[in-house]
Amino acid sequence: MMINSPAIVIHSLRYSEADLIVSLFTKTSGLRSYLIRGVLKSKRGKIRASLFQPLTLLEIEAFHKNKGSLERIKDAKIKSVYTTLHTDLIKNSLVFFIAEVLKNSIQEEEANIDLFEYLETALIWLDTHNTIGNFHITFLIKLTQYLGFYPDVSHIEGAYFNLEEGVFQFSSSTMYCVSGDQVTYFKKFLGTTFEDSMSVKLSKGIRSELLTMLLVYFELHLYSFKKPKSLSVLHEIFN
């Protein structure tokens, strides 16, 4: 079956001497993996290896067998040209972190249009703004909404947040209940826009603790999730 779809590059892996296996989150078909032959040696081909940098927004024409095997791309081109995402050191570090988070979070070979549109909007926002210190915090919190475990705010006045249940509580009930400054600041991000969240003032320590808390939250709610290897780089840059 031939499909035409916007797609976001999640991951690419060199395969043999000249081939790439690329993982794309497509708007029409969810997460798919493609084998692209000869792309690392071809200089004149229609499909170039440079198209498959992490989180690049593409338009693809592809052939899907829908049998759980590697699919084939017939054509690919840039959908939205980034101006800073792959050249700015801080943004590029965020790109690798986000790509790892998505690689460990998205598994389904089915369309999730709302998630795709959220990711596209978030990436373009990151590319076009300079004040981005809290972007990764906001991004992760908003992502939970599309993955199905956004925090229940029914009792948001509670001093504890139960990471396992995703609810606020007035007392601690398990080892996964957290409290203190990280919960106080966590509440400030809930329901905010990217723009508004940038005005939340965080110390380096609190930002680091909040990020660690969120990644534990992801681990508890997504079976296959692992902490990104790029986390240490992110901590270095934002600290």
- Helix or strand (DSSP H, E) at 162: strand 160-162
Domain boundaries, the chain: 2-78, 89-238
pLDDT digits (tens, 9 = 90+) for 8-42: 999 999 888 889 999 999 999 999 999 998 888 87
Contacts of 199 (CB under 8 A, 6+ apart): none
pLDDT confidence of residue 18: 87
pLDDT digits (tens, 9 = 90+) for 216-235: 999 999 988 998 988 888 88
Can you identify the CATH homologous superfamily of domain 2-78?
Answer: Nucleic acid-binding proteins (2.40.50.140)
What pTM value is reported for the model?
A: 0.94
Number of H helices, E strands in the chain: 7, 8
* CA torsion, ordered 206, 99, 109, 57, to nearest 10 deg: 120
User: How far apart, in whole angstroms, are the C-alpha atoms of residue 128 and residue 49?
Assistant: 24
3-class secondary-structure state, position 30: strand
Would you identify the CATH topology of the domain 89-238?
A: de novo design (two linked rop proteins) (1.20.1440)
- Give the pLDDT of the chain (239 residues) as one tens digit per residue: 898 999 999 999 988 888 999 999 999 999 999 999 888 887 666 788 899 999 999 999 998 988 778 999 999 999 999 999 999 999 999 999 999 999 999 988 889 999 999 999 999 999 999 999 999 999 999 999 999 999 999 999 999 999 999 999 999 999 999 999 999 999 999 999 999 999 999 999 999 999 999 999 999 999 889 989 888 888 888 76
Same CATH fold, 89-238 and 2-78? Answer: no
**Angle (CA) 163 167 169, round 5°:** 100
pLDDT digits (tens, 9 = 90+) for 102-117: 999 998 888 999 999 9
Question: Of 77, 63, 76, 75, which is closest to residue 29 (Cα–Cα)?
Answer: 63
